[in-house]
Each structure stands twice: as structure tokens, then as C-alpha cells.
Amino acid sequence: MVSADTNIWIAHLAGEQADDVETLAIALRFQRAMMPPPVLSELLSDPDMPGGHRSDLQSVPRLELGPGFWERAGLLRASLWRMGLRPKLADTLIVQCCLDYQVPLLTRDKGFAMFAKHSGLKLAK
């Protein structure tokens, strides 16, 4: 299984040719892709997204939020703040989804490196 950050999905939907986009395409083909709800929310926020893309995105299995999710996400973010880091809330929510399901994250965003270093997040390659 693998999850992907918003930037990978945008590249995928745009038809970009890149290794990370191909990794997502293969995961989708073999039903091994999982959607973090914050990523879905970010993607559906695009008012110009074609309707076909919307329905395709909504059909990807989600990393559903379990009991205590919000507390774990808040504590995760607080732990990084205590280290002097400044994690974005949306990124923290995406990471917590991945941590809860032990699913690696495919991303181009260098901001996730702090999570990989300090929280156990696995980054997909």
C-alpha cells in the first residue's frame, strides 16, 4: 500500500511523466493506493477540477480517521513544535493518517522530511 500527497495527485491528473507519478499509477492499477482524507479535501478544493477527476478521486479507498485521531495529530504536531520545527497543520493530518495505517507517503514536498526523521513516517520512493 502507498498513499500520495496532493502534489503527486496533481501531477498524476495533469498526465505528468515522472517516477513518482508512475509509482502512484501502478499503485492505482493494482488497487494499492490509499487516500488520506486531508489530501482528498485539498484536491476537491480546486473549483476548476473536471467532474471526472472528482469522481475518480472519490473512488480511491481512504485512510479513514479512527478514534483518537485528532488527539494523536495534535500531540504529534506539538512534539515537533517543541523541537523548534514548524509543521503545517494539513501536513500533520496527512502524516497522522499514514502513521495510523502504517502506509508510506509519496511526496515531493520536502516539509515531510521532518516527520520522517522525528515521527516514524515512511516516505515512499
Report how far residue 61's alpha carbon sits from residue 11's, in angstroms, rounded to the nearest whole number.
Answer: 19
- Structural domains in the chain? 2-118 (3.40.50.1010)
Helix ranges (H only) for the chain are 6-13, 19-29, 37-44, 51-58, 69-82, 89-101, 113-118
Residue-wise pLDDT tens digits, 66-104: 999 999 999 999 999 999 999 999 999 999 999 999 999
How far, in Å, CA of 49 to CA of 26, rounded? 23
Convert the pLDDT of each residue in 34-76 to its tens digit: 999 999 999 999 999 888 899 999 999 999 999 999 999 999 9
Question: 97 phi and psi, to 5 degrees?
Answer: -60, -45
